[in-house]
Amino acid sequence: MEKWILIDGNSIAFRAFYALPLLTNASGLHTNAVFGFTTMLLKLLEEEQPTHMLVAFDAGKITFRHEGYSEYKGGRQKTPSELSEQFPLIKELLQAFGISQFELSGYEADDIIGTLTRMADEQGAEVLVVSGDKDMLQLASDQVTVAITRKGVGDVDRYSPALIHERYGLAPLQIIDLKGLMGDTSDNIPGIPGVGEKTALKLLHEYGSVEGVLEHVADLKGKMKEKVEQHKDDAIMSKKLATIFREVPLDRGTSEMAYGGYDRPTLAGALRKLEFKSLLERLDLTGEGTGSTVAAAELNVVSVAAHDEDALSALAAGLRSVESVYVEVIGENPHQSETIAVALATADVIFVVPMAELQASALGFVREWLADADMEKAGFDLHRTELSLAWHGIALKGISFDIQLAAYLLDPTDSTQSISGLCGKYGLPTVQADESVYGKGAKFKLPEAGVLHGHIASKTDAVRSIAAIQREELEKTGMHKLYYDLEQPLSRVLAGMELQGIRCDASVIEQLGAELESRISDIMTKVYTLAGMEFNINSPRQLGEVLFEKLGLPVIKKTKTGYSTDADVLEKLEPYHEIIPSILLFRQLAKLQSTYVEGLLKEIRPNTGKIHTYYRQTIAATGRLSSQYPNLQNIPIRLEEGRQIRKAFVPSEPGWFMLAADYSQIELRVLAHISGDEGLKEAFVQDLDIHTKTASDVFGVRPEDVDANMRRQAKAVNFGIVYGISDFGLSNNLNITRKEAAQFIEQYFAAFQGVRRYMDNIVAQARTDGYVTTLLERRRYLPEIKASNFNIRSFAERTAMNTPIQGTAADIIKLAMVRMDEQLRARGLRSRMLLQVHDELVFEVPADELELMKELVPQVMESAIKLDVPLKADVSFGDNWYEAK
């Protein structure tokens, strides 16, 4: 027998949208309703095994129901844009599933479904109607079951006529009468005022229908009688509106709804586009490409072996016209990675040279080509590649284009950075994802050479296609200068710093570790005594139990899993129990011990005593760098105990010095420049203490009358301004009321009206353009600036205010780094740039260059770019990083 599934597309999309948190894919599209829709479809397909399937949609705003009642569905909230933008995606998805869909102007989805259920009754098919709307219950019959979603979309109640009778004591068609009496606020159907579900059911059990009730109006009493008499016409009209129309002129046969299953590559493509990775995996579609295997098979791949003279001569000839380079690097940390093979794409051949072959003397000409700065190379993640090859004794120079770096500039918030992901993003034939070829985690395994080389070749091939698209995009978006003159040159500077490494004296750290160990052990004993029991202080859960259950301290804040025990909470608990300071101290020392003593010791290379961090150039949405393995951008400084760690960072040559230079107030100077605020600019021109100046303006006192507390509060306001201020955030930070915070902000904006204008303008601009930019035209897209959800929108607004400031500061120090590197080379200096910490550069300097570098470094930093206010860099030096303060 035929089994039909008929889905009310609009209703299910609505339910899914409100049931799931807002998901966004890399391009900023919302996908939560699509996701919910998809999971529901999969569940239905699996559980029901339908022979026919159709999703009906409402079409147009005006239906025949408006003819008799123009207010139908009036007063309804507009569909949020986050949902409406998902309907095209749902329709595409249905196509990929091979599920038919239907809409007809002037009719709603339930009318289409109603018409089809009538036909099913006539044809003897079994039907499951799926909707979130209980009106649909009127369609239930012996053959038609109506599934209504319950709590989201995963779960449904299946209504047969028997169940409807059990729940409501009504026949399916009486559902119409029910609604005629009680109305429906969401559709603006009036019904009879004062009649809810309970009263309506009582009336229907007594009189059977709306007409029955109206006939027996004389039997009613009091207010009820009055209401029914008064709203007789409303009830009749409401019933009419609630009646599903079952005679829609469908212009197609039911055979077109036949469901024959989905095409795996097509569905895989659609799910990949939506970034539904979990579903791809669940359906085992991860390896299913849209022609990737075909693409790989069509490529002319030559695996080069040192003894294969034909291949070698072809490769030698090919080196003159290499279009892209790809090196397969395995491992997260490029300083401790494995390079598998180097691949080069020429117009007609892709050469894959396994690492062992590349090391052979016969391949010396390839190594020379790689090291030749005049041979330009376009590739993927060449910063990582340069490091990995360097550790294997092979130099890589002449990097001219990197598709990962370009992708980052084109959209820094897009997390797809793999070649396979970029193919999908730019609409190119997909290559297989690494994960599907290699597996992941413990299952990671390289396949046999044929498959491996084919995969590497397909990626090398893709690189050139992606590069061609991106070069154009960089021009179009005005980011070509930023790319070619700044980011690409910087990549090489970073690699130099990373390979150089920074010397770290293990004995200093070990000494510190020993002291910490004994202090931690003492403090643990004290905490256990005060708590009256032993427990794991490092476990937020156990600590929460001890503090809030055993000791009965007041709960200040909760996390989604339990009690919050962060430093903010603990500070508020200090007056209640003497255990609190000990816990705070334990936390502080434990952090130092685990992250900075044990963590850093693990990163010191035993043979050189150096630490090599890896700067990530494609992570931070604002344009900043980040640092990994280890992170050298968060070495303690604020508290003296932690600051001691810096004593371990020393010059790598005897008699040299550490020299550090940091920008003074770079973000506020940038703000002064881009906002054009006269007062702020003047403050920097005069090189005033900016927090004192702010306090004096905000509190309306003379600068010499600003006390420490006023300055502290002004400093917090300045931070807030840079972060995209809100009264809530400031009040939290200063522990004052929101009202007071709002007052501070208002006073600030009154004093710095140019800043207020900037903040207003940048948000408006983000709304118009969909993105904000830095001084060097770096972009960040902010699709959420148009969100209807207050929180999401507010977050985007703060980001719009902050990103041009933080991002311009990042642009500036990057410029300084490239210039500094040029200067060191041009002047033939031995001094080396080692670290960047957002507004600070750290060098190691021979004694005889110290005086020069003390002048040169700040000079280069201050002249990196010309702003309307001066830039200022402070320089210091010493025997270690601690002393260079």
Partner DNA sequence: AGTGTCACG
Partner DNA sequence: ACGTACGTGACACTC
Q: Name the strand (E) or helix (H) holding 53.
A: strand 52-57
| The binder of DNA chosen from 352, 570, 674, 763 (CB under 7 A) | 570
Cβ-based nearer residue to DNA, 19 or 637:
637
| The binder of DNA chosen from 598, 653, 705, 760 (CB under 7 A) | 598
Q: How far is the CB of 387 from DNA (least distance, A)?
A: 15
Cβ-based nearer residue to DNA, 529 or 788:
788
Pull the structure tokens for residue 482.
Answer: 């930023």
Q: Strands, DSSP E only, in 452-565? A: 502-504
Question: The dihedral of CA 306, 309, 315, 320: what is its sign?
Answer: positive
Q: How far is the CB of 612 from DNA (least distance, A)?
A: 12
Contact of 44 with 130, CB cutoff 8 Å: yes
| The binder of DNA chosen from 619, 736, 742, 829 (CB under 7 A) | 619
Q: How far is the CB of 589 from DNA (least distance, A)?
A: 9
Q: How far is the CB of 132 from DNA (least distance, A)?
A: 24
Q: How far is the CB of 627 from DNA (least distance, A)?
A: 6
Q: How far is the CB of 647 from DNA (least distance, A)?
A: 14
**144-150, strands of its sheet edge to edge:** 100-103, 52-57, 3-8, 126-131, 144-150, 155-159
Report the C-alpha gap between 689 and 27 in whole angstroms: 43
Q: How far is the CB of 717 from DNA (least distance, A)?
A: 7
Cβ-based nearer residue to DNA, 48 or 545:
545
| The binder of DNA chosen from 252, 560, 702, 866 (CB under 7 A) | 560
| The binder of DNA chosen from 105, 561, 607, 768 (CB under 7 A) | 561
Interface with DNA: number of residues (CB under 7 A): 76
Cβ-based nearer residue to DNA, 623 or 754:
623
Contact of 31 with 86, CB cutoff 8 Å: yes
Report the C-alpha gap between 101 and 96 in whole angstroms: 12
Q: Within positions 622 to 661, which residues make up the interface with DNA, using CB under 7 A?
A: 622, 624, 626-631, 633-639, 642-643
| The binder of DNA chosen from 81, 559, 737, 761 (CB under 7 A) | 559
Q: Within positions 203 to 242, which residues make up the interface with DNA, using CB under 7 A?
A: none
**Is residue 444 near DNA by the rule CB under 7 A?**
no
Stretch that binds DNA, among 66-74, 243-251, 538-546, 856-864 (CB under 7 A): 538-546
| The binder of DNA chosen from 123, 594, 761, 876 (CB under 7 A) | 594
Spell 587-613 as b/e; 16+ CB within 10 A means b: bbbbebbebbbeebeebbeeeeebbbb
Report the C-alpha gap between 43 and 40 in whole angstroms: 5
3-state helix, strand, coil split of the chain in percent (to 5) is 55, 15, 30
| The binder of DNA chosen from 588, 644, 675, 696 (CB under 7 A) | 588
* Per-residue DSSP letter, 595: I
Pull the structure tokens for residue 516.
Answer: 């910490």
Cβ-based nearer residue to DNA, 259 or 752:
752
Cβ-based nearer residue to DNA, 29 or 725:
725
* 3-class secondary-structure state, position 767: helix
Encoded one letter per residue, x for contact with DNA by CB under 7 A and - for no contact, window 813-842 reads ------------------------xxxx--
Which residue has 């599907």 as its token pair? Answer: 436
Cβ-based nearer residue to DNA, 539 or 876:
539
Our CA angle for 50, 52, 56, nearest 5°, is 115
Question: 844 to each of 603, 651, 872, how far by Cα in Å?
Answer: 20, 6, 21
Cβ-based nearer residue to DNA, 322 or 810:
810
Report the C-alpha gap between 199 and 600 in whole angstroms: 73
Beta strands at 377-379 and 610-611: parallel, antiparallel or unpaired: unpaired
Encoded one letter per residue, x for contact with DNA by CB under 7 A and - for no contact, window 692-721 reads ------------------------xx-xx-
> DSSP string of 806-850?
HHHHHHHHHHHHHHHHHHHHHTT---EEEEE-SSEEEEEE-GGGH
Q: How far is the CB of 789 from DNA (least distance, A)?
A: 8
Q: How far is the CB of 801 from DNA (least distance, A)?
A: 8
Q: Within positions 404 to 443, which residues make up the interface with DNA, using CB under 7 A?
A: 440-441
| The binder of DNA chosen from 540, 609, 770, 878 (CB under 7 A) | 540
Pull the structure tokens for residue 809.
Answer: 């500061």
Cβ-based nearer residue to DNA, 246 or 624:
624
Encoded one letter per residue, x for contact with DNA by CB under 7 A and - for no contact, window 765-804 reads -------------------------xx--xx--xx--xx-
Q: How far is the CB of 695 from DNA (least distance, A)?
A: 14
Q: How far is the CB of 120 from DNA (least distance, A)?
A: 42
Q: How far is the CB of 91 from DNA (least distance, A)?
A: 29
Cβ-based nearer residue to DNA, 43 or 793:
793
Our CA angle for 770, 776, 778, nearest 5°, is 35
Contact of 349 with 300, CB cutoff 8 Å: yes
Report the C-alpha gap between 112 and 247 in whole angstroms: 8
Cβ-based nearer residue to DNA, 32 or 138:
32
- Surface-to-core class of residue 699, CB atoms within 10 Å of its CB (0-12 exposed, 13-18 middle, 19+ buried): middle
Q: How far is the CB of 451 from DNA (least distance, A)?
A: 24
Report the C-alpha gap between 428 and 798 in whole angstroms: 35
Cβ-based nearer residue to DNA, 331 or 450:
331
Cβ-based nearer residue to DNA, 184 or 667:
667
Q: Closest by alpha carbon to 257, among 32, 102, 393?
A: 102
Cβ-based nearer residue to DNA, 21 or 222:
21
Q: Within positions 40 to 59, which residues make up the interface with DNA, using CB under 7 A?
A: none
Encoded one letter per residue, x for contact with DNA by CB under 7 A and - for no contact, window 722-761 reads -xxxxxxxx-xxx---------------------------
Question: 553 to each of 254, 521, 546, 576, 640, how far by Cα in Å?
Answer: 67, 25, 9, 7, 30
Verify cis geometry, omega within 30 degrees of 0, for the bond prior to 630.
yes
Report the C-alpha gap between 813 and 819 in whole angstroms: 10
**Is residue 538 near DNA by the rule CB under 7 A?**
yes
**Is residue 858 near DNA by the rule CB under 7 A?**
no
Q: How far is the CB of 799 from DNA (least distance, A)?
A: 5
Read off φ and ψ for residue 343, nearest 5 degrees: -120, 145
Report the C-alpha gap between 603 and 605 in whole angstroms: 6
* Per-residue DSSP letter, 189: B
Contact of 741 with 730, CB cutoff 8 Å: yes
Cβ-based nearer residue to DNA, 803 or 880:
803
Q: Within positions 60 to 79, which residues make up the interface with DNA, using CB under 7 A?
A: none
